[in-house]
Amino acid sequence: MAEVLPVFVLPSEHRPGQVNSTDGIPVIDLKGWHWEAAESPQDRSYRESIVRQIGDAAQEWGFFQIVNHGVSQRVLDEVESSAREFFDLDLEEKRKVTRTADNAMGYFDMELTKNVRDWKEVYDYLACERAEIDPKQVFTNKWPSNPPEFRDACKNYSAAMEALAFKVLELVVESLGAPAKALNEHFVGGSTRVRLNFYRKCPSPDLVLGVSRHKDGCALTLLAQDEVGGLQVKSKRNDQWVQVKARRDAFAVNIGDLIQVWSNGKYQSIEHRVVVNSTRDRFSCPVFFSPTYATNAAPLPDLVNENHPAKYKPVNWAEYYKMRRDGNFKNLGKPNVQIDNWAIDH
Ligand SMILES: O=C(O)CCC(=O)C(=O)O
Ligand SMILES: [Fe+2]
């Protein structure tokens, strides 16, 4: 097993340490859920109950798991097995599709979070194949030729997950008291990115993190993971790290920075990190559900009035994404930009 180079080693106050908290994170069961408009009184009250559970979880945790979500197991199995085959290839082969500062899609094994190198390899792709962040910067997917089924497996995964993400978004927006579809238009032809994460077993899991503590900049993250576990979230109740139960039958959902802004701070994006271990490799694949780059996120009009003034200035997604991404590539010698920089002091 490779030695841990100094570039991965965290300052002592940010090392993983012991986490004793039990999970307690809400698991929301969508069994029997009809995604379209509820018709019978039972359907309506079922929808209301789900919306309520989502609202409570979003407010209390900024994080929850969903089960019986309707995404087929075959789609999940295929993306996982293709990803494992890809990460198993020689480094030279994987680097044929290396991500660069100009085109942030593809393979990368040198990502920094909070200016320290993460113990992981990733492969990023866009659900929509190509996205123009500005006229000079266009991202396009870089598909490897090996394994041959990789591209189809990834495309099937992102299509199924984007459809689900729209539905989760509607429930989140409805739980805020706004029309369920109020934000949908921003996500049509949006910039949703999928990440395949591979965390190799590590000789010194106490010194490193798979991903250092961070918040996701997007609107919502939906994440599938294997049974190994390692994701931890910072509880808003007591500021303690909580280990998330790894469930193959669930997606972990987190509130991202943009929903924090749209909800006028009612739902806060959650800090999280990933610990690694010395015995097993771990796989996860988050979908960062994101609007078009042209989107300016601002508190929903339904939530703002004289008594509740807007707590955030509009956030242009292209600008915010660019600022955050720059810190992933190189140590800029300062803390990464945070959504609180857009807060308005009242
Ligand atoms: O692997 C995980 O469980 C979480 C990964 C994550 O937080 C990220 O990629 O932003
Ligand atoms: Fe994350």
Atom of ligand 1 nearest to the CA of 199: 1
CB atoms within 10 A of CB 9: 14
ipTM: 0.99
CA of 233 to the centre of ligand 2 (A): 10
> What's the pLDDT score for residue 327?
62
DSSP string across 36-103: S---SHHHHHHHHHHHHHHHHHHHHTSEEEEES----HHHHHHHHHHHHHHHHS-HHHHGGGB--SSS
- The fold of the 6-330 domain, in CATH, is Jelly Rolls (2.60.120)
Could you tell me how far CA 11 lies from the centroid of its own chain?
25
pLDDT band for position 330 (50/70/90)? low
197, 255, 276, 287: residue to mutate for ligand 1 pocket, most atoms within 8 A of CB: 197
CA of 91 to the centre of ligand 1 (A): 22
Closest-approaching ligand to the CA atom of 215: 2
Q: Reply yes or no on whether the pLDDT at 44 is more than 90.
A: no
211, 277, 281, 287: residue to mutate for ligand 1 pocket, most atoms within 8 A of CB: 211
CA of 43 to the centre of ligand 2 (A): 34
pLDDT digits (tens, 9 = 90+) for 89-113: 999 999 999 998 789 899 998 877 7
> What's the pLDDT score for residue 12?
85
Atom of ligand 1 nearest to the CA of 231: 3
Average of per-residue pLDDT values in the chain: 91
CA of 15 to the centre of ligand 1 (A): 17
> What's the pLDDT score for residue 264?
97
pLDDT digits (tens, 9 = 90+) for 211-262: 989 999 999 999 999 999 999 999 988 889 999 999 999 999 999 999 999 9
Atom of ligand 1 nearest to the CA of 286: 9
Q: Reply yes or no on whether the pLDDT at 144 is more than 90.
A: yes
Write out residues with Cβ below 6 Å of ligand 1: 195, 197, 211, 216, 223, 225, 231, 272, 274, 284, 286
pLDDT band for position 23 (50/70/90)? confident
pLDDT digits (tens, 9 = 90+) for 153-176: 999 999 999 999 999 999 999 999
* Cβ neighbourhood burial of 132 (10 Å; 0-12, 13-18, 19+): middle
The contacts of residue 84 (CB under 8 Å, 6+ apart) are 198, 283
Ranges of each domain in the chain: 6-330
pTM beyond cutoff 0.90: yes
Top pLDDT among 123 and 46 is at: 123
